[in-house]
Amino acid sequence: MAEFLLELLSEEIPARMQTRAAEDLQRLVCDGLKGAGLDFGSARTFATPRRLALVVDGLPATRADVSEERRGPRVGAPDQAIQGFLKGAGLASLDLAEKRDTGRGEFWFAVIAKKGGPTAEVLPGIIEAAMKALPWPKSMRWGSGTMSWVRPLHSIIALFDGKVLPGEVSPGGDMMPVRFGATTRGHRFLSKGAIEVAGFNDYVARLRAAHVVLDPAERKQIILAGAEKACAAAQVTLRSDEALLEEVAGLVEWPVPMLGTIDGQFMDVPPEVLTVSMKSHQRYFSTARNDGTFANRFVVVANNVARDGGATIVGGNERVLRSRLSDAKFFWDQDRKLTLEERLPRLRDIVFHARLGTQADRVTRLEILAEKIVPHVPGADLAQAILAAHLSKADLVTGMVGEFPELQGVMGRYYALEEKLPAAVAEAIGDHYAPAGPSDRCPSAPVSIAVALADKLDALVSFWSIGEKPTGSRDPYALRRASLGVIRIVVENRIRLPLGKFFEADDLMAFFADRLKVQMREKGVRHDVVDAVFALGGEDDLVRLLARVEAVQSFLATEAGRNLLTAYGRAANIVRAEERKDKTLSARIAGAPDEALMEQNEEKAVYAALAAVEQRVGPALASEDFAGAMAALADLRAPIDALFDKVTVNVSDKPDLRLNRLKLLNQIRATMDKVADFSRIEG
């Protein structure tokens, strides 16, 4: 077995594209290998700012002979279909095909023999095809070439079993082709000259000697360990930021973490501003004191080894940061010269949506919604909720949010606190966009809950009203996220909010049902159980709905629940089968059966059990004792089992008795369906 090594060296690849590009390269090459009939042991890809690398282990040196069968059209098919089949199979005439009876008629089959040969013969074509098919989000052409790649391509390592593969990739135009070879280059500044490699292990070792750490995971570990060590020495702690760590690892080939200091004049600026400014502009990590408050130190990751121990690099970055933070401090000082209330008229100049008005119009809707929501949120002050909704969008016209849009709400909170507005109002302004995702904190303060719900419900109802609904993967207004936010706020805070009061469109509630299934599935709740409860209709209280779902799922996990579900299925299946035969049956079996027509003790026992269960189920459902309702249903198991063992439903010679027994089965279905639509339960 042999090893295949591929490296594509280019100018800098954007960090955000590296991981996906490495995955795509592996997928495309491995698909090409499989298409050529080549099995292999393992495949691994790596990315640095300047290169994509792939190593495939366990490839055979030669490809075995293989044969492929291809089924063609039915015997006697039109000539056009026959000719298309022959052309696709590479057969000169129909005499070379086989006629076979498949049990569904006779069809033509082609047996295509593919000769094996040296694996090295097919690899160049696989490389070229993969490179052409690699789906960069953005690519470019260089010089007079016609080839698209993320950045100008410099060299290609293509080694199989230690030998260079024959081949090249041409950028087109008058550009020189890039030939396959065995050489690469190391770090742009810390290494000089070409590096020749003989295989993957040699490649990794020689790159490391040339100040390139190939594995992104290792670079991340080096950054993390070095940053934490530097922070510990300065008695601060590194603030975790996995996304930033991933990005920085894609910006350096030889990471060297260093610790810098933030000028004291900027430490009165809100820490979120400092963090965003350092992260978005400079890719610096922020730190915290032992008590968790923001510290005046930052971590910069250099892509170089400094002769002076990093003093020059740190000093340069501190000067750059000083300039960046001067802008932030300017916005902070200027913004506080106007109150949030004074900024509101400018919201009339910001269009929220062409068909939904301005941000000022939206604020009016939020105030109305907040007023309707407050009675359902225990502890929420009406005046404070309306004030928070009134001021919630005012920071959109501040200089700080104009510079850093991701600080919407955050800055509103700070400005509200500066104005000495009630703390609950300030916190609601800061929280009203939350939760922005599944890992984001969910508002828990009463006023914050009311305003956050108003913001999300307005987005959903407004966009639904103009037909802007999510379709497939398209969701330009983040309505799925808004619905999941409503679900989290309501469920985690147990808010008894009747959503139907706010929804005019029935399909919006169905949309919520789908989102609820997605979220509950992640928590181990069966989607079919959610379906079964939603199918009852008329339920718009998510807390009550999920309590019912939990009770049904717990019941179905017991032996009694599983057996009763089986019995329900038997009863429902018999009734459905008869209803399909007789379209008038549904109306005739509605209502209770006639006890006087019952001949056997087993049907009388079921009738009595149903009556007893209905007396318990009704009050249990009314008091939201769903576990009690399920316990009552469990009492039906034994009499229903006996009914199916001893009683024949379809007695053809006694039509009145048959109809009465079908009524009894229908009553079993109707009684159980008061708790959930058990026909929706899978299995």
Q: Which residues, other chains included, contact 18 with Cβ-Cβ below 8 Å and sequence gap of 6+?
A: 47, 48, 49, 52, 216, 250
Q: Which residues, other chains included, contact 487 with Cβ-Cβ below 8 Å and sequence gap of 6+?
A: 512, 515, 516, 519, 542
CA distance 144 to 175: 6
Question: What is the bridge-based pairing of β-strands 178-181 and 153-160?
Answer: parallel
Q: Is the pTM of this model over 0.75?
A: yes
Distances, alpha carbon 673 to alpha carbons 167, 220, 364, 669, 681, in Å: 69, 55, 43, 6, 11
Beta carbons of 336 and 327 less than 8 angstroms apart: no
Q: What is the pLDDT of residue 497?
A: 95
**What is the mean pLDDT of each successive set of 10 residues along the chain, which is 683 residues long?**
96 96 96 89 96 96 77 89 86 85 87 81 94 92 84 95 93 86 96 95 97 97 97 96 96 97 95 94 94 96 91 95 94 96 97 97 97 97 98 97 95 97 98 92 97 97 94 91 95 94 85 86 87 87 93 92 90 90 90 92 94 94 94 91 91 90 93 92 81
CA distance 571 to 473: 40
CA distance 109 to 293: 74
Q: For the purposes of burial, counting CB atoms within 10 Å of the CB of 80, is it exposed (0-12), middle (13-18) or buried (19 or more)?
A: exposed
CA distance 75 to 477: 54
Nearest 5°: phi and psi at 577? -65, -40
CA distance 231 to 288: 9
Which of helix, strand or coil describes residue 470? coil
CA distance 131 to 8: 9
DSSP state of 239: P
Q: What is the pLDDT of residue 68?
A: 72
Q: What is the pLDDT of residue 538?
A: 83
Closest CA to 567 of 494, 511, 638, 466: 638
Return the H-helix or E-strand segment holding 89: helix 79-89
Predicted confidence (pLDDT) per residue in 162-193, tens digit = 999 999 988 877 788 899 999 999 999 999 99
Nearest 5°: phi and psi at 293? -75, 160
Which of helix, strand or coil describes residue 596? helix
Cα angle value 17/59/27 (rounded, 5°): 25
Structural domains of the chain sorted by starting position, each given as residue range(s) with its CATH number in brackets: 2-62+119-209 (3.30.70.600), 66-114 (no CATH), 216-335 (no CATH), 341-541 (1.10.3210), 558-680 (1.10.730.10)
Bond from prior residue into 435 cis (ω within 30 degrees of 0): yes
Closest CA to 127 of 14, 23, 26: 26
Helices (H), 165-265: 200-209, 216-233, 242-249
Predicted confidence (pLDDT) per residue in 564-610, tens digit = 999 899 899 999 998 898 889 889 999 899 999 999 999 999 999 99
Q: What is the pLDDT of residue 256?
A: 97
**Residues pairing with 62 in the sheet:** 118
Q: What is the pLDDT of residue 117?
A: 85
